[in-house]
Amino acid sequence: MVETILVTGGTGLVGKAIEHISNNYEYKFVFLSSGDGDLTKFYETDLVFTLYEPTYVIHLAACVGGLFKNMAQPVNMFEKNMLINMNVLRCCHKYNVRKVISCLSTCIFPDRTTYPINENMLHNGAPHDSNSGYAYAKRMLEVQSRMYCKQYNVSYVCVIPTNIYGPHDNFSLTDGHVIPSLIHKCYTAKQNDEDFIVLGTGKPLRQFIYSHDLAELLMWTLNSYNDIEPIILSVSEDQEQSIECVSKMIAKEYDYEDRIVFDNSYSDGQYKKTADNSKLTQLHGQYNFTSLDKGIKETIEWFNTNYNRVRK
């Protein structure tokens, strides 16, 4: 009998990336969308689990947004994510799901810390105030997963990817994450013959992971990672890039490099979140990550081709 993997948030950025590689694995995949049930409501979440009876769950569903959404709506970011995570893990336990992989974020790490950050430093201080609502909800997902492991001897694992980008992202100019928002902004600026305005100084540093790479690493985690402690899924520290560099890569693809303007009247948010991927390297071995310029090129090609139907 073929085992079923239920992917919450299955029509989002990472869900679509898993779908892209799903034929490489001998599982039945079910990719949930928000239309299949409201995961903030236990009754609807329970109906989904009753219908599909999954063997495994890859939990990606979340209320997400970029820096300015996190700053403007901390209550929504906290409460909606708490409800989603609580309901999903309760149902995983109720329906005897064999293994759960839940996706966190590096924004949950302490603001005041030493770098690079590793998995043991997760709760060593408050996260950056700019995304505290989302960050604390995600921290509680790690706590809740650990409590289930402790009380019921189950395998509920949390992974911590760095900044994800790729096809099927949310390219919203207001609520999207940095790369998709900048792609949309540069596209629009060129269409309107306007400056490509990047909010902030461009100096903050980030590690970016292409969604298709993350999808493969999530499947490796499901099949091969047997520890109950979280694991960082990330490119190495030496592949960290500034927002300025990313903006120039995007502008280059649109042949619009001479029109970039950095508006330093806006907040930069957290300067850096450098993550240590040595645990991944030790257990998995060296992974051949997609280079940032190649990933951006492929993402822009997908965005341009699908402009009329992308989330924006």
SS (H, E, C) 94-117: HCCCCEEEEECCHHHCECCCCCCE
Q: What angle do CA 126, 128, 131 make, to 5 degrees?
A: 115
Q: Confirm whether 307 is a catalytic residue.
A: no
Contacts within 8 Å (CB) and 24+ apart, 185-191: 186/247, 186/250, 186/251, 186/254, 186/256, 187/254, 187/303, 187/304, 187/307, 189/256, 189/259, 190/254, 190/256, 190/259
Write down the pLDDT at residue 267. Answer: 79
Whether pTM > 0.75 for this model: the answer is: yes
CATH homologous superfamily of 4-169+207-238+274-291 equals: NAD(P)-binding Rossmann-like Domain (3.40.50.720)
Q: Which of 134, 156, 210, 225 is catalytic?
A: 134
Q: Which residue has the tokens 């903006």?
A: 247
Residue 175 clears pLDDT 80, i.e. is over it: no
For the chain, the average pLDDT equals: 93
Residue 312 clears pLDDT 90, i.e. is over it: no
Write down the pLDDT at residue 67. Answer: 67
The predicted-structure confidence for 66-94, as pLDDT tens digits, reads as follows: 666 777 778 988 999 999 999 999 999 99
Element (H, E) at 303: helix 292-305
The predicted-structure confidence for 212-255, as pLDDT tens digits, reads as follows: 999 999 999 999 998 999 999 999 888 999 999 999 999 999 99
Write down the pLDDT at residue 137. Answer: 95
8 Å CB contact between 27 and 5 = yes
The predicted-structure confidence for 241-298, as pLDDT tens digits, reads as follows: 999 999 999 999 999 999 999 999 887 777 888 899 999 999 999 899 999 999 999 9
Write down the pLDDT at residue 68. Answer: 66
8 Å CB contact between 197 and 189 = yes
Write down the pLDDT at residue 177. Answer: 84
